Every structure is written in C-alpha cells, then in structure tokens.
Amino acid sequence: MTSLPLADLLGLSAALLGIGLFGILTRRNFILLLIAVEISMNAAILNFVIFSAFLSGDAGVNGQAAAVVLVGLAATEVAVGLAIVLALNRQRGSINVAEASSLKL
C-alpha cells in the first residue's frame, strides 16, 4: 500500500481548519456556526488519526483513542450547542448570533 505523503495529509487537515475558521468568522446563523466549529474540530481529529497512522506502537494507538474520545466530545458539544440554539430561538425568535449580544458589558 502506497501511502500519501504526511505533508499532503496535514495540508488537508489545515484546509479543513481553514474552512472551519472561515465559517466561524463569517456565518451569523447559529447552526451554520456550529457546523463550522464541527469542521474545524474534525481537522484536529484528522490530525490525530494522521499522526497515529505514521507512528507505530503505543503512540499510534493513543492517537486513535484520542480521535474516538474527541468524536464523542464533538457530539456532546453539538448537543449542548443545539440546546442553546433551541433556547435562543424560543426566547428571541431568531438564531442570528449578531443579535444575541445582551451579555456584553
């Protein structure tokens, strides 16, 4: 099996992170924001997986384990995030994050 070079794989991960960050900075819709957060998080998870494939022994297994934990963490984060979206929608009738600024000083 010929494997792709590490730099290309990391480039993919960096691209995912960039897409996610772009989404975080530009989207005003809370759900799209959550999706963007998920994308950038997946970039991090992908990093773990990539490095675990290139390392051998315990270190490789550790990366995969971390990836599994992070997937679970991402799921809980989305659950909390969607709960906030629902609460926001119920209270304000809108899920535009630019309008939800009442916690500022």
**What is the contact surface with another protein in residues (CB under 8 A)?**
21, 24-28, 33, 97-98, 100-105
Q: Give 28 or 73: the residue with its C-beta nearer to another protein.
A: 28
Closest CA to 65 of 78, 81, 49: 49
Cβ neighbours of 67 (radius 10 Å): 20
Q: Which residue has the tokens 């963007």?
A: 36
SS3 content of the chain, % helix, strand, coil (to 5): 75, 0, 20
Please state the closest distance from residue 55 (CB atom) to another protein, in A: 23
H-run or E-run covering 85: helix 58-92
Please state the closest distance from residue 98 (CB atom) to another protein, in A: 5
Please state the closest distance from residue 2 (CB atom) to another protein, in A: 31
Q: Give 1 or 105: the residue with its C-beta nearer to another protein.
A: 105
Q: Give 30 or 48: the residue with its C-beta nearer to another protein.
A: 30
